[in-house]
């Protein structure tokens, strides 16, 4: 806390209210408004757009400058030099692992990739056409009925065991959601494979070709998608996890709550919306028509995957993803796929057209990740499930950080506009 103060004057009160200013390591300093309660006032901030509800050391974003840091490391450097599991270790523990720590962490994750066979019974209860996100919400919450040995949220070791289990089992559960959705038998993990290779093996493998090698370019792309979605500060789903966790709820139910929040099209559903938009356009010849509509403020059509609510300049994750997108399309020979041709043409327009450049509507991470997953053969219904798989480490790291410090149960206030007290009408 600095010695700086803010003073708030309220009409009718001769004494200004003194508010402490809390200093951030990076970014905006924060005015502590808690003394307002003594004056019987709350602040009004719809969407919490200017409210810091938590203190965190994990992730920092400067949207105006296009900066994303995990524990101080720029996302571009992690994407170039690290991999998903090493980034998981960093988010959970605060520092990058040395070689021995990394090997030990990878082995721990491998040990926890299997799920109890009873989990299959949960999947059997879902309709054949159940949305994968609906299944993931339910099954992750149900994990709390299996692991009573590590449910003491006040025990740091129990919290870390739970974190390891969730990171390890999410690809297995995500692949099971896919297999149920397409009506194929489940594939068990092959722990001789890397994290992302194992995921692709469980997604696309069959008992007949379980030894079929995984294309290293596709595995690298999948790993990058997980890494670039690992954490994104105090967004809607992360705040949901923290809010649920503040009640003392078990971690599996907290992560399930985060998955539910992520499902919304304004949050994690964005890359699925990209594919749906490409299908709506349908043909390269119709691109100019839809670009014209996108520029018309009175037309409800919007180009999905361009610009970002947080990043007002460019999405630093998109720069990394663009190169990988080109590599995937090249290795798969899909440059002439109709939908992907539309996507590449839209990318060219967004990077060159004066309207898009002026408004900084650059392709974002959802645009490129959607194209990559479409190219790999992942159905759009699975896109948000994969987002949730990568984001799990961020959620559980934020949850663990909250519980490792003094915290209060979340209790947002309201500006009440309803009726004053009134009598029930006589009959």
Where in the sequence numbering do the catalytic residues fall? 267, 308, 366
Tell me the β-bridge partners of 6. Answer: 19
Calculate the dihedral angle through the C-alpha atoms of 227, 232, 236, 242, rounding to the nearest 10 degrees: 90
Helix (H, G, I), strand (E, B) or coil at 250: coil
Rounded to an integer, what distance in angstroms lies between the CA atom of residue 144 and that of residue 152?
12
Residue whose token pair is 């003491």: 152
Q: How far apart are CA 310 and CA 312, in angstroms?
A: 6
Distance CA 405, CA 83 (A): 29
List C-alpha distances in Å: 331 to 71, 175, 194, 228, 327: 34, 23, 20, 21, 6
**Closest by Cα among 91, 85, 55 to 73:** 91
Bridge-based pairing of strands 5-8 and 73-74 is unpaired
User: Tokens 């920092």 — which residue?
Assistant: 60
263: DSSP letter:
T
Please say whether the beta carbons of 258 and 395 come within 8 A. yes
Which of 256, 253, 242, 371 has its CA nearest to residue 306?
371
Instruction: Using DSSP, state whether 323 is helix, strand or coil.
Output: helix
DSSP single-letter state for residue 193: S
């Amino acid at each position: 806390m600095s010695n700086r103060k803010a003073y708030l004057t309220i009409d009718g009160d001769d004494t200004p209210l003194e508010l402490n200013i809390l200093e951030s390591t990076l970014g905006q300093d924060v005015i502590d408004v808690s003394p307002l309660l003594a004056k019987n006032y709350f602040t009004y901030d719809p969407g919490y757009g200017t409210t810091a509800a938590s203190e965190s050391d994990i992730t920092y974003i400067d949207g105006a400058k296009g900066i994303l840091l995990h524990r101080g490391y720029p996302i571009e450097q992690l994407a170039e030099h690290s991999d998903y599991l090493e980034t998981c270790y960093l988010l959970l523990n605060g520092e990058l692992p040395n070689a021995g720590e990394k090997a030990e962490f990878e082995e721990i994750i491998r040990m926890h990739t299997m799920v109890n066979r009873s989990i299959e019974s949960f999947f059997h209860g879902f309709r054949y056409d159940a949305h994968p996100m609906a299944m993931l919400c339910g099954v992750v919450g149900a994990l709390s009925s299996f692991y009573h040995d590590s449910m003491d949220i006040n025990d740091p070791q129990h919290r870390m065991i739970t974190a390891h289990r969730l990171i390890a089992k999410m690809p297995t559960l995500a692949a099971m959601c896919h297999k149920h959705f397409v009506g194929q038998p489940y594939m068990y993990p092959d722990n001789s494979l890397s994290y992302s290779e194992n995921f692709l093996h469980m997604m696309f493998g069959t008992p007949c070709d379980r030894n079929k090698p995984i294309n290293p370019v596709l595995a690298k792309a999948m790993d990058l998608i997980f890494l670039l979605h690992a954490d994104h500060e105090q967004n809607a789903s992360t705040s949901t996890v923290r809010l649920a966790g503040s009640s003392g709820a078990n971690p599996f139910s907290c992560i399930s709550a985060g998955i539910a929040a992520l499902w919304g099209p304004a949050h994690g559903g964005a890359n699925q919306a990209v594919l749906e938009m490409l299908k709506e356009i349908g043909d390269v010849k119709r691109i100019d028509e839809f670009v014209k509509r996108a520029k018309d403020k009175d037309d409800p059509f919007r180009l999905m995957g361009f610009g970002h609510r947080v990043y007002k300049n460019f999405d630093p994750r998109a720069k990394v993803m663009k190169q990988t997108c080109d590599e995937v399309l090249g290795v798969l020979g899909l440059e002439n796929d109709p939908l992907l041709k539309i996507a590449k043409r839209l990318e060219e327009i967004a990077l060159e057209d004066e309207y898009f450049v002026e408004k900084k509507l650059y392709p974002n991470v959802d645009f490129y990740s959607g194209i990559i997953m479409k190219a790999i053969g992942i159905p759009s219904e699975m896109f948000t499930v994969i987002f949730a798989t990568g984001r799990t480490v961020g959620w559980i790291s934020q949850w663990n950080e909250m519980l490792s410090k003094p915290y209060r149960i979340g209790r947002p206030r309201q500006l009440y506009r309803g009726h004053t007290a009134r009598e029930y009408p006589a009959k």
